[in-house]
Amino acid sequence: MTMKQIEEILKPSQVGKVVKTRGWVYRIRKHKDKVFVVLRDSTDIIQAVVKKGTKAFKDAEKLTIESSLELSGKVRKDKRAPTGYELDAIQIKPVHIAETFPIAKDLSEEFLLDVRHLWLRSRKMTAIMKVRSKVFEAIHEFFRKEKYYEFQAPIIIPGGAEDGPTLFQIEYYKRKAFLAQTWQLYAEAEITSLEKIYTITAAFRAEKSKTTRHLCEYWTAEVETAWQKLDECIDLAEGLVAHICQKVAKEESKSLDILGRDPKDLLKIKAPFPRITYSQALKKLEKSGMKVKWGKDLRTLEEKKIASFYDKPIFVTHYPKEAMAFYKPRAPKDPRTALCFDLIAPEIGIEMIGGSERDMDIKSLKKSLKEKGEKVSDYEFYLDTRRYGAVPHSGFGLGIARLLQWICKLDTIRDAIPFPRTPRRCTP
Ligand code: 4AD
Ligand code: MG
């Protein structure tokens, strides 16, 4: 008898057949003459009934929550069973009898983070990790189809790009080095060779405070494209997010159900997404009673409000130049603003993507670096990209955990990554 995964057993064609499967005890109820074992594997759960008098009964009595076992039984349809089918157990082979599992009901988030290595087995975390895996698959699929090369930048770097104070410093032999916040500066060097490149990578930021949308180590999909202008870059971001939503809705609908997300919500996420400028956003905010001084970056509160006006992800473009990273160029039509965009997630209203055109002009780059208090000499390798055949180009970074927070309806970004790293936690 070949071993079957639970998903393969939950089918009308299996009714009446004797099958063999394996997994872990998800729930167990022991009665005098019967033991009910709910078995889980990576694919699903199924209830087995073990009757007194069968060979399996003695072994079933030994089982505890999370014990691992192999089980054979006859498949029966049963409306009352948790997944619609039940197994009449014939034989049970315990593989490992688990000690008392420390996770019961109603535990605090902090405790569940302490035992994250065990909590990953929960149905909720299992569903999230399946969706996460699908998102990674969708990102690769999208960029490969668009003929992008996958390209890797270093993680250990000599200096910053986005925001100096949030760099993690490491000791590199006798020198200082840092963990990368973004691949961007290296990607800008590579596009004169491969023209269209993307990556999925870990990125690091020493965020100062604990929030529900910041991690200190997070995964990001980044892309950089030669000859590309802002509008085309936004089109690419729109295409990517739409593709991810369509694919997850179609191929992970069962996981979405477990998470309380209707797959139909994601099927509606198709191009075009609304596009508004920062100045237009301020006007909309003012109309609903939120006054933001022109020049200030948008805060979570304001992003949430903007999200509430729409039912799709929203592009906000042309933020004030002064509030932006040094490499974002001034917009020729309104030099107070930069050629850049953020994509705000619907419902939860957090920034999922940040992107821009890149300043081609070496003089204005040097000026911006100085204004930001950076040492221009630290950026010589980057400035070389503006000395030898510079071309217009642009790119963006998608925060994968933030996208998952929205798609999976999670209260906190910490549940969107297997082992979260936050200012207060780098264990387990
Ligand atoms: O907007 P950011 O800072 O942009 C960049 O780093 C660019 N260099 C990307 C590029 O153009 N190649 O970060 C990009 C995205 C954000 O929109 C957000 O989704 C995510 O990365 N992100 C974080 N996610 C989780 N925790 C954090 N601490 C994050 N910081 C940024
Ligand atoms: Mg940003």
Contacts of 347 (CB under 8 A, 6+ apart): 307, 406, 409
Closest atom, ligand 1, to C-alpha of 402: 19
User: Measured in angstroms, how far is the CA atom of residue 297 from the centroid of ligand 2?
Assistant: 10
Kindly tell me if the per-residue pLDDT of 159 is higher than 80. Answer: no
pTM, rounded to two decimals: 0.97
Contact between 196 and 146 under an 8 Å Cβ cutoff? The reply is: yes
Of the two residues 229 and 165, the one the predictor is more confident about is: 229
Q: What is the mean pLDDT of the chain?
A: 96
Angle at 192 between CA 147 and CA 323, to 5 degrees: 95
Kindly tell me if the per-residue pLDDT of 162 is higher than 90. Answer: no
349-372: average pLDDT? 96
Beta strands 175-179 and 45-51, pairing class:
unpaired
Tell me if 6-96 shares its fold with 114-416.
Answer: no
231-239: average pLDDT? 98
Angle at 404 between CA 403 and CA 405, to 5 degrees: 90
Q: What token pair was written down for 86? A: 């039940």
The DSSP output letter for 355 is E
The model's confidence at residue 170, banded by pLDDT at 50, 70 and 90, is very high
Residue minimizing CA distance to atom 20 of ligand 1:
399
The number of residues making up the chain comes to: 428
Domain boundaries, the chain: 6-96, 114-416
Kindly tell me if the per-residue pLDDT of 161 is higher than 80. Answer: no
Q: Is the dihedral of CA 230, 235, 238, 239 positive or negative?
A: negative
- Please identify, in words, the CATH class of the domain defined by 114-416: alpha beta
Token look-up 């030669």 returns: 226
User: Nearest Cα to 395, choosing from 207, 191, 244, 194?
Assistant: 191
Task: Determine whether the shortest distance from the Cβ of 346 to ligand 1 is under 6 A.
Answer: no
The helix (run of H) or strand (run of E) holding residue 162 is none
48-63: average pLDDT? 96
Per DSSP, the three-state class of 49 is strand
Cα separation, 190 vs 153, in Å, equals: 9
The DSSP output letter for 226 is E
The per-residue pLDDT for range 308-350, each reduced to its tens digit, is 999 999 999 999 999 999 999 999 999 999 999 999 999 999 9
Output the pLDDT for position 209: 83
Task: Determine whether the shortest distance from the Cβ of 218 to ligand 1 is under 6 A.
Answer: yes
Output the pLDDT for position 277: 98
- CATH T-level topology, domain 6-96: OB fold (Dihydrolipoamide Acetyltransferase, E2P) (2.40.50)
Cα separation, 291 vs 203, in Å, equals: 33
Kindly tell me if the per-residue pLDDT of 1 is higher than 90. Answer: no
Residue minimizing CA distance to atom 18 of ligand 1:
399
Say if residue 272 is preceded by a cis peptide, omega within 30 of 0. yes
213-227: average pLDDT? 98
360-387: average pLDDT? 94
28-46: average pLDDT? 97
The per-residue pLDDT for range 240-273, each reduced to its tens digit, is 999 999 999 999 999 999 999 999 999 999 999 9
29-47: average pLDDT? 97
* C-alpha Rg value of the chain to the nearest Å: 26
Cα separation, 249 vs 261, in Å, equals: 9
Beta strands 85-96 and 68-77, pairing class:
antiparallel
Q: Where are the alpha helices (DSSP H) in 146-262?
A: 184-194, 230-251, 253-258
The DSSP output letter for 187 is H
The per-residue pLDDT for range 91-112, each reduced to its tens digit, is 999 999 999 999 988 789 999 9
Closest atom, ligand 1, to C-alpha of 352: 19
User: Measured in angstroms, how far is the CA atom of residue 237 from the centroid of ligand 2?
Assistant: 14
Task: Determine whether the shortest distance from the Cβ of 182 to ligand 1 is under 6 A.
Answer: yes
410-417: average pLDDT? 97
E-state strands within 31-174: 34-40, 45-51, 68-77, 85-96, 149-150, 156-157, 169-172
Q: Ligand 1, from 343, 402, 403, 404: best to mutate by most atoms within 8 Å of Cβ?
A: 402
Q: Which phi and psi angles does 56 have, rounded to 5°? A: -75, -20
